[in-house]
Amino acid sequence: MKKIIQKLLLLASVMILIPVFQPQTVAAATEPELNAKAAMAFDEKTGQIMYSKNTDEKVAIGSITKIITLYLVTKAIDSGELKETDMLTPTKEQADMTQEAELTNVRLDADKTYSVKNLYSAAWIVSSNSAAMMLAQKVSGNQKSFVRLMRRTLKDWGINDAKIYNVSGLNNDDLYNGMYLGNKDNENKLSVNDIAIIVKHILDEYPEVLKTTSQAKLEFPVDGETKTYNSLNLLLKDQRDYQEGYEFDGLKTGTTKKAGESFVGTLPMDGTRVVTIVMDVTGDESDNDKRFRSTQNLARYVKENYTRTKIMTPGDKVDTKYTPQKDVYMWLPSDFDLGSLKYEKSKNDLGFKTTYNGKTVKLNAINSPNGYIPYTKTEKKIKIKKVATKTTNWWDNVVHFFTNLF
C-alpha cells in the first residue's frame, strides 16, 4: 500500500511539472492576402525586408517606370540644369496622346506652354505620360537619349539586367517613333528587388519628392482655367481607400495591359519608413481598389507580425570589440530569439555603424528573418546633359502654327 501511495505521489509530481518543461509554441504568421505576382515590404532606412515574394522575377512595371524618370528630372532640378519655371511645349504627338481615352489624364495642347513644376506634379500625382516625356526631352534633348541615361543610372546602381525601353512605362506599341528604344512589342520590366533599390535611392537622396506624391489633388491649367484632378493613389488621406493609422504619402501606381495593376507605396511606421511593393495584382477587372487593398494587407501584416525592436545601444559590445555609435533597431517577429542574432561586416552600403580601434565599421545581422535588399550606394555622379534652348525664327513659328492647326 505504501509503495502504491509513493507511485501516485510521484505521478502527480510529474503531471504538475509537465507544463513547466513543455516547449512554447507560437503560431506562424498568416500570409497576407495580396493576389500579387511579386511583392515586398522593407524598411527604407535600413533596407531590412519584412516580407518578400518572387523578388527576383522580372515583371512588367508600367508607370512605376516614372520613378526612375522623375529621379533623373529631380536631379536635374536639384543641380540647376532644369528650373521649375522653365516653360515647355508638347509636340503634336504628345498632345494627341492626352486626347486618347486609354492614355489620357491631364490634357495638353500643342499650342500652349506648361511649367516644369506643373508637368513634374502631373507626372507624379496623376501619372501623365506626356508630361514625363516632355521633362525627359528637356533633360536629354530627346527621349531615346534619356532612356540611355536611365539604363546607365540603373547599371551604376548594380541593376545590370534591366529592360527599359521608354520613359513613361507604356507599351512600346502605344508610342510614336522617337519615343522608345527597341521593338514595338517591348515593355519595361524590372524585378521587385530592382524596384526596391530604385525607391531607396530616390527617397534617400530626395525625400522632398514626398511633398508632391502626398498631394491628393492636382491643380493643372486647362483652357485658361485651373482644373482639379484626383491623385491615382487612393490610399492618401481624403481618398477612397484611406485607412486611419496607415498614413501613406507615396509613391507610384503602375498600370498597363501586360503589367496589370501594381503599386509602390510608402508610409511612416514606428519611427521609420516602410516601403510596400505589389506587382500585377489579380482580381476582377472592375475592381479598381485591389492593388490598394493588397497594399493595406501588406502594411497590416508588417504592423501585426513584426515589432521594431531596439537590439543594442552605444554602451553594448558586438563580438567584444565593436561599439555601436547609436541605438540599433530591427524588425523582429514576436517569437524571434534576440540572442540568436549574429553579425558580420557589411558587404554593401547597408548596416549600422560601429567603432573599432577608432575606425567606423558597418555591421549587418547575417541571420535577420528575411534579409536585406541588394542595395549598393553609388559614388558616381550621374551627368545630366544640359540642352540649350532652341531659338526659333519667324518661319519656324509659321511652320509650327500650320503643323498644329489641323
Give the residue numbers annotated as catalytic, written as ranges: 63, 66, 127
Three cell numbers, residue 3: 509503495
Of 302, 169, 298, the C-alpha closest to 232 is 169
> Which residues have C-beta within 8 Å of that of residue 87, sequence separation ≥ 6?
113, 114, 115, 116
Q: Can you tell me which residue has the cell 535577420?
A: 368
DSSP state of 65: G
Q: Can you tell me which residue has the cell 503634336?
A: 92
User: With contact defined as beta carbons under 8 Å apart, do 180 and 169 qualify?
Assistant: no
CB atoms within 10 A of CB 401: 10
Of 386, 382, 387, the C-alpha closest to 68 is 382
User: With contact defined as beta carbons under 8 Å apart, do 63 and 255 qualify?
Assistant: yes
Specify which residues 6 forms β-bridges with.
none
Helices and strands in the chain: count of H runs, count of E runs: 10, 17
Q: How far apart are CA 365 and CA 340, in angstroms?
A: 10
Q: Is 252 within any annotated ligand binding site?
A: yes
Torsion of CA 39, 327, 304, 50, to 10 degrees: 20
Q: Annotated binding site, which residues?
A: 252
Q: Annotated binding site for substrate, which residues?
A: 252
